[in-house]
Amino acid sequence: MNILKFHNDEDFIQTGANLIVSLLQSNPKAVLGLATGSSPVGVYAKLVEMHNKGLVSFSKAASYNLDEYVGLPVDHPQSYRSFMNEHLFNHVDIDLARTHVPNGNAADLDAECLAYDKMLEDNGPVDLQILGIGSNGHIGFNEPDASLNSGTHVVDLLEETLEANARFFDKLEDVPRQAVTMGIGGILKARQIVLLVRGEEKAEAVRNALEGPITTQCPASLLQSHPNVVVLLDEGAGKWLK
Ligand code: F6R
């Protein structure tokens, strides 16, 4: 695991973007695993900027997002499909038909989960998986629990996750209580994982994930078992690391 701490945002963002750009420069058909949330926003903006300068093309790339809320209309501003369109897809030359976000409105969610895993199996592995981490150590929406699912599945979001995500909605009650998420096994199949973490409120989760025991009570700690993880931290997020 390669842990990089940054003193300023610009270096953090540029380093994250460079990892994706160099992958696409050497392998234009790369399969990207993408996350939503605040952590990758700056990196996506930088990718758009680098694309506009002609430094990177997404025209042959494919993408798979980690998760999506259950029951939120796909065109709702807070759906993860809308997030990806707004922050990245609408501003680069990616073929939308090759961008994938789990369908949280599928009539049969279990079948949707199986189909998502089949697509990943047929078209993967993911070359580079972007991750953020929840304050409770979740990755994707794999919440701390006595056991974790390997494949894509429907999850009941924990109260702390609903509260953390309420900032994107008018009120707490508007946050969907369930999501479809790739499982830990699916996430760990990626060839490379890039974990982006910003802010002091994540410092404890970062310490538990990177220096604590590997435990399902901190899903991100399972990243310790992956051979190729790069962690990008700002000073706040890295402040409790040894
Ligand atoms: C988002 C996702 C979540 C977030 C995590 C951190 O697709 O899967 O695990 O990465 O909740 O969110 P932010 O970056 O908003 O702090």
> Would you tell me how many other CB atoms lie within 10 Å of the CB of residue 54?
7
Percent of the chain surpassing pLDDT 70: 100
List the catalytic residue out of 65, 136, 142, 165. 136
DSSP for the chain, written as a single string: -EEEEESSHHHHHHHHHHHHHHHHHH-TTPEEEE--SSTTHHHHHHHHHHHHTTS---TT-EEEESEEESSS-TTSTTSHHHHHHHHTGGGS---GGGEE---TT-SSHHHHHHHHHHHHHHH---SEEEE---TTS-BTTB---SS--SS-EEEEPPHHHHHHHGGGSSSGGGS-SEEEE--HHHHHTSSEEEEEE-SGGGHHHHHHHHHS--BTTBGGGGGGG-S-EEEEEETTTTTT--
pLDDT tens, 173-225? 999 999 999 999 999 999 999 999 999 999 999 999 999 999 999 999 999 99
d(CA 101, CA 236): 30
Is position 93 annotated as part of the catalytic site? Answer: no
Ligand 1 pocket: which of 32, 38, 39 to mutate (most atoms within 8 A of CB): 39
Q: According to the model, what pLDDT value does residue 242 have?
A: 87
List the catalytic residue out of 143, 153, 208, 234. 143
Measured in Å, residue 39 CA sits from the centre of ligand 1 at 7
Model-level pTM greater than 0.95? Answer: yes
Q: According to the model, what pLDDT value does residue 112 have?
A: 98
Q: According to the model, what pLDDT value does residue 208 have?
A: 98
Q: Residue 67 above 90 pLDDT?
A: yes
Ligand 1 atom at shortest distance from the alpha carbon of 34: 7
Q: How, if at all, do strands 128-131 and 31-34 pair?
A: parallel
The ligand 1 site (C-beta within 6 Å) comprises 35-39, 66-67, 132-134, 138-141
Measured in Å, residue 38 CA sits from the centre of ligand 1 at 7
Q: According to the model, what pLDDT value does residue 145 have?
A: 97
d(CA 126, CA 128): 6
d(CA 212, CA 203): 13
Is position 143 annotated as part of the catalytic site? Answer: yes
End-to-end CA separation in angstroms for the chain: 14
CA 124: distance to chain centroid?
A: 16
Give yes or no for a contact between 228 and 196, defined as CB atoms under 8 angstroms apart: no
Residues 74-93 have a mean pLDDT of: 98
∠ Cα 32 37 43 (to 5°): 55
Q: Residue 124 above 90 pLDDT?
A: yes
pLDDT tens, 7-49? 999 999 999 999 999 999 999 999 999 999 999 999 999 999 9
Percent of the chain surpassing pLDDT 90: 100
Q: According to the model, what pLDDT value does residue 168 have?
A: 94
**Structural domains of the chain, with CATH:** 2-193 (3.40.50.1360)
